[in-house]
Amino acid sequence: MQFSSNSIETAYEKLKDVWQNFMEKGVIDQSVLRPEIYDSWIRSYNQEQDYNVYSGPLLPLDIMLSKQQKNKTIMDIALPVMKDIYDMMESMSNTFAVVLFDDEGDVIQIINHDSDVRLGHRCSEIHGATNAPGLALKNGRLEEVCGYEHLYAVAHNWYSVARPIFNIEQNKAGVLGVLNFTSRLPAIKPMVLFGAQLIELSLAREQTNNYNLSKFMEALGHASAIIDELGKIQSVNKRFVDLMGVPKETILNQSLRDFISGDIDYVALLEANNDSLKSVATKAVKHVNAYSDAISLVMDKIVIRDNNNSPIILLLFKEDSATTSHNKSSSSVTPLITFDRIIGDSPVMRNVKKVARKAAHSLFSVLILGGSGTGKDMIAQSIHSESKRSGAFIALNCGAVPKDLLHSELFGYVEGAFTGAKKGGNVGKIVLAEKGTLFLDEVGEMPLNMQVSLLRFLQDKIVTPVGSSHSQIVDVRIIAATNSNLYEEMKRGNFREDLYYRLNVIQITMPSLSQHREDIPSLVKYMLNEMSRQFNTDPICIDEKALNALTNYNWPGNVRELKNILESSLLFAENNLITLNCLPSLLKDSFAANMFMPKGSTNNYEKTTIIEVLQKYAGNITKASTELGITRPTLYSKIRTMDINIDEIRHKQLI
């Protein structure tokens, strides 16, 4: 078994000695074993088995098939999650298995990678002694068992992690586990934990009653949709689907606001009776169809039903022929960015898109790192678009929301929850992103107390609005982004370690524009074409000198700065041609300096640029690294290797 440090190797050797003493003398050194392992060894000892020889039984074929038939639902739900974990593990280990166990600890589904684990293996504590799946079943929580903590000698090179899967009644429905056969891999724990929670969420939804009013709705004379109290579409009829012009699967479980524009007060809809219905329903609303022009609609009738105390709202719409012809405006829903709109064919950008595409087809949380203006939001949107998740893409800038309002912004609130709460309450961003993606930009700005709330949601997927006693399970994929060094912030105690590792399952680092200058010509061409289309002008061109100046500039503001420079330069362009004279003086001066720079003096120029930026910010490393488009550690490294006297720079600013 491979270990990364002497201390771990020492602990491993101690475990080995403890195991041998237990096998030979029945004596256990409690100071070495974890309490849960000690308890399991004692329970297993009473089974009086020979743990030097593995005799783990296999289930008979007929019982195995019966178990699989009984657990078909959870197996179908678990399979895509297991495939995602397998894809992640494949780059980390040469021999492992991703396993689904039933509620008795028997293997009912497995994805093997050069391992001997087989369907029908019995891994409960009674049959398999101390191991992670058996321990997880026994203790009802995430468990890991490493090396000689396993009682059977054959498992002394194993690292096993497992977590129970609970159904909606909080009974154990099975266990998700990963068995690695060569080394301890701490990254497995968050995979198994998150994977089990995803399976639980889907299992709970499978058990929840689905209201089936399709026959009734099809008999209605108008397009109709059923929404819940949060405005999520639960069912639609064919007329509604035809009117929207998109597949039914694209509509279900999305917010009505994605298809109908206008300020719809869902609380008022719930409370409306025949007398007050008119004031709620007479607002004109617009169908928003991403594939055609908008169509004006008017709410014609609302039927409110209660089924098991859950409000169901049936909306009927009719086309407003009097206003339709005057509302051929473009869609109010901004199309999401897709990977084909992310310009860049440099090696570093190809790698970013490769990792992002893989992330899109997984269910794990993503952390996007990079400076301001590098396109973190575009990558997040592309991942959502590629993922084919049916819900919406909801973005929240954690640094732009006042700290005392961030909790209510994320989790929502009910009417009267606090002073200033708007009438009817507010649906939180997490719920709005149901079955979709929640993009938490500048997550490093999130205060510690809010980090606790977010971590709790990531663990149980339960949302409780401020001031409410009603909770709900929400299926949402989290993508977080930050331009700060989150790892350093974690070490300083400004960001929770457990939340960091929960968010950082898949990490994508966006390069600064100066790190992929070869993409600048393509970016410029794309942006100029977009500007030409936006302003409805003839094609906009740029001459060679201007393009060279753009290519050689340092771009502290990254792609966002490039776009701003092009837009401002267009104001000075004649005949839609951007020349060197159209560019800001900063870029012209930089270009001139490069033209007369002696060959081989690139490092001197870089050093001069760094010193100038450091002087500009009085030696503030954070501000300087942001403008330079590099990380703080990289800037510190350059300061050392280029022998830049940072103390002198700071001292001069104080004089």
CA distance 382 to 380: 5
Q: Phi and psi dihedrals of 150, rounded to 5?
A: -70, 135
- Tell me the percentage of the chain whose pLDDT exceeds 90: 25
- Residue 7 covered by a domain: no
CA 349 to chain centre: 20
CA distance 314 to 336: 29
What mean pLDDT do residues 93-121 have?
91
Do 483 and 523 reside in the same domain of the chain? no
Do 504 and 519 reside in the same domain of the chain? no
Using CA atoms in the order 569, 570, 571, 572, what is the torsion angle rounded to 10 degrees? Answer: 70
- Residue 333 covered by a domain: no
Q: Phi and psi dihedrals of 365, rounded to 5?
A: -70, 150
| Domain CATH for 391 | 3.40.50.300
Tally of CB atoms within 10 A around 273 = 8
CA 587 to chain centre: 38
What mean pLDDT do residues 287-293 have?
39
Do 263 and 374 reside in the same domain of the chain? no
- Residue 4 covered by a domain: no
Those residues whose C-beta lies under 8 Å from the C-beta of residue 175, and which sit 6 or more positions away, are: 100, 101, 102, 103, 105, 133, 136, 137, 162, 163, 164, 165
Strands, E assignment, 320-450: 366-369, 393-397, 437-441
167-179 residue pLDDT tens: 877 889 999 999 9
pLDDT of residue 525: 92
Nearest-CA neighbor of 88 among 363, 283, 444? 363
- Residue 332 covered by a domain: no
Do 314 and 355 reside in the same domain of the chain? no
Name the burial class of residue 309, with classes exposed (0-12), middle (13-18) and buried (19+) by CB atoms within 10 angstroms of its CB.
exposed
Q: Edge-to-edge strand order for the sheet containing 143-146?
A: 107-113, 96-101, 172-180, 159-166, 143-146
pLDDT of residue 600: 44
- DSSP per-residue string spanning 31-57: TTS-HHHHHHHHHHHTT---TTS----
SS3 79: helix
30-87 residue pLDDT tens: 778 888 888 888 887 766 566 665 555 688 888 888 888 888 889 989 999 999 999 9
Residue with tokens 């510190």: 636
> Please, which pLDDT band fits residue 322 given cuts at 50, 70 and 90?
very low
> Please, which pLDDT band fits residue 326 given cuts at 50, 70 and 90?
very low
- Residue 6 covered by a domain: no
CA distance 430 to 475: 9
CA distance 587 to 561: 12
pLDDT higher than 60, residue 273: no
Q: How many domains does the chain have?
A: 5
The CA radius of gyration of the chain, in Å to the nearest whole number, is 30
Q: How far apart are the two ends of the chain, measured CA to CA in Å?
A: 59
185-228 residue pLDDT tens: 888 999 999 999 999 888 876 654 333 456 556 656 677 887 77
Those residues whose C-beta lies under 8 Å from the C-beta of residue 575, and which sit 6 or more positions away, are: none
CA distance 208 to 216: 21
DSSP H or E segment with residue 270: helix 266-271
CA distance 9 to 443: 37
* Mean of pLDDT over the chain: 78
More confident: 153 or 198: 198
More confident: 104 or 239: 104
Total length of the chain? 655
| Domain CATH for 272 | 3.30.450.20
Give the end of a domain, one of 158, 185, 207.
207
pLDDT of residue 636: 82
- Domain of 566 in residue numbering reads as 513-595
Cα–Cα distances in angstroms (integers) from residue 126 to residues 43, 46, 139, 209, 423, in the given order? 9, 10, 14, 37, 58
Do 577 and 445 reside in the same domain of the chain? no
Do 492 and 537 reside in the same domain of the chain? no
Give the end of a domain, one of 186, 207, 228.
207
pLDDT higher than 70, residue 642: yes
- Residue 2 covered by a domain: no
Do 248 and 393 reside in the same domain of the chain? no
Phi-psi region of 96 (alpha: psi -120 to 50; beta: other; left: phi over 0): beta
More confident: 129 or 333: 129
Do 160 and 307 reside in the same domain of the chain? no
381-395 residue pLDDT tens: 999 989 878 888 899
What mean pLDDT do residues 338-365 have?
90
CA angle 100, 104, 105 (to 5 degrees): 45
- Residue 3 covered by a domain: no
Specify whether the CB–CB gap between 226 and 234 falls below 8 A: yes
Do 519 and 539 reside in the same domain of the chain? yes
Do 318 and 242 reside in the same domain of the chain? yes
- Residue 358 covered by a domain: yes
| Domain CATH for 77 | 3.30.450.40
469-523 residue pLDDT tens: 788 889 899 999 999 889 888 988 999 999 999 999 999 999 999 889 899 999 9
CA distance 482 to 429: 18
pLDDT higher than 60, residue 557: yes
Give the end of a domain, one of 462, 478, 509.
509
CA distance 262 to 280: 12
Residue with tokens 């280029």: 642
363-384 residue pLDDT tens: 889 999 998 889 999 999 999 9
Exposure pattern of 416-450 as b/e (b: 16+ CB <10 Å)?
A: ebeeebeeebbbbbbbbbbbbbbbbbbbbbbeeeb
pLDDT of residue 654: 53
Specify whether the CB–CB gap between 421 and 413 falls below 8 A: yes
Do 493 and 532 reside in the same domain of the chain? no
Do 444 and 491 reside in the same domain of the chain? yes
Q: Which two tokens stand for residue 349?
A: 């950008």
